[in-house]
Amino acid sequence: MSDTVNERLFAKLEELSAKASELNEQLMDQAVASDPQKSLVITKELGKLKRLVDPYQQFRNVRENLEEAQELAHDKSQDVEMRELAEAEAVELQEQHNQLLESLKMAIVSDDDASIDSIILEIRAGTGGDEAALFARDLYEMYTRFCERKKLKAEVLDQSGSDLGGFKEVTLNIKGPEVYMVLGYEGGGHRVQRVPETESQGRIHTSAATVAVLPEPEEVDISINWETEVEEFVSRAGGPGGQNVNKVSSAIRLVHKETGIAVSMRDEKSQHKNRAKARRVMLTRLYDHHRQQTDAKRDNARKSMIGSGDRSQRVRTYNYPQKRVSDHRINLDLYQLDKIMQGDLDELIEALQTHDKQQRLKNL
């Protein structure tokens, strides 16, 4: 990474360090200390800053020690043994310095994302009829296997099956440390090229599914008056293939009046449980809606970055005859389709993270 990028990085970190010092001083002010609400807001902001400021302080200490060791190693007035010891220490410190620098770069460009440990992941069958629904099921299984490997907790919030055992749509809640940094790049259009189970002539078909990855906010991040701002509709739930799930009116549909955002939930037999799940998804979609508006106003450069989660953007193709998975955002082809469909997404995700980090550093 160029010196110019490093200079911008250090300037930003110095700015954040100064802000943290200022907030620490405010907390010591008697007027703030006696106001629990104000001190809570400052403490929360300070906690967020410390995720960057503390590692930066550690980096600065290592850099100072490295400079001292290098200076001592080149000091002709010192005896040979002392210079050799300093040189060996400098090599060790240089490695530590480089590792901390890379960690800082990743931390500063992904700080907001790193704090998100719960997401809503939605998969919907697109063009391709039954084959698209089967592909949506395959994506669902790919992500759940990945979650098992990574010890992430995945819970199905809602699902709508197809006659052949696929999914018209399925909604998951996935929880785990930094989960949005890991799965946030999956949003967009996914395309499959293969011979469908329903194809008797052996012809290759192209089908599609869309994935949305939405950060799940804490309740405090966004508030809704459920009585006045949201319309609720109750109906009976229907299951895969059209059979009845139950004869009680348990399915819930919520519509946010201002934005028109709608959520349907019918997976549970209990109306109360469906309402609770629907409200969680509604909060998440509203949070994402406001977040996208804020990002658009703040930084148009975001459009050039990956991971926006736009359903209309084709992000990946799964080509079964060639056993190839292509990520179109970074022009990456991996001939490991079987492995990837078994949930081994590590190489894909790492490549996407690296590319995204480089793009974001350019826009610091």
Strand pairing partners for 175? 118, 153
Distance, CA of 252 to CA of 74 (rounded, Å):
74
Read out DSSP for 11-52?
HHHHHHHHHHHHHHHHHHSHHHHT-HHHHHHHHHHHHHHHHH
41-62 residue pLDDT tens: 888 888 888 888 899 999 999 9
* Of 345 and 43, the one with more pLDDT: 345
Say if residues 335 and 88 touch (Cβ distance below 8 Å): no
Which residues have CB under 8 Å from 64's CB, separation 6+?
none
Say if residues 280 and 270 touch (Cβ distance below 8 Å): no
- Looking up tokens 């930066």 gives 56
Q: How far is CA 201 from CA 196, 197, 214, 321, 338, in A?
A: 10, 11, 40, 15, 24
**pLDDT tier at 224, thresholds 50, 70, 90:** confident
DSSP summary character for residue 307 = -
Distance, CA of 214 to CA of 223 (rounded, Å):
17
Distance, CA of 23 to CA of 44 (rounded, Å):
10
Question: Exposed, middle or buried: residue 351 (CB in 10 Å: 0-12, 13-18, 19+)?
Answer: middle
Closest listed residue to residue 186, CA positions, set 315, 312, 330 = 315
* Of 227 and 1, the one with more pLDDT: 227
Per-residue pLDDT, 258: 87
Task: Please count the other Cβ atoms lying within 10 Å of the Cβ belonging to residue 303.
Answer: 10
Instruction: Outline which parts of the chain fall under CATH 1.20.58.
Output: 3-109
Residue 161 has, within 13 A of its CA and on its CB side, a CA count of 14
Distance, CA of 153 to CA of 173 (rounded, Å):
8
Which H/E stretch holds residue 230? strand 230-235
Burial readout 25-35 (b: 16 or more C-beta within 10 A, e: otherwise): ebeeeeebeee
**pLDDT tops 80 at residue 307:** no
Domain 3-109 bears CATH identifier 1.10.20: no
* Of 200 and 252, the one with more pLDDT: 252
Domain 116-364 bears CATH identifier 3.50.50.60: no
Instruction: Outline which parts of the chain fall under CATH 3.30.70.1660.
Output: 116-364
Phi/psi region, residue 242 (left: phi>0; alpha: psi -120 to 50; beta: rest), is left
**pLDDT tops 70 at residue 240:** no
Any idea which of 14-18, 37-41, 120-124, 132-136 has the lowest mean pLDDT?
Answer: 37-41
**pLDDT tier at 248, thresholds 50, 70, 90:** low
The token pair that represents 176 in the structure block: 């785990």
**pLDDT tops 90 at residue 273:** no
**pLDDT tier at 305, thresholds 50, 70, 90:** very low
Per-residue pLDDT, 2: 54
How many helices (H) and strands (E) would you count in the chain? 10, 11
Claim: this prediction has a pTM higher than 0.75: no
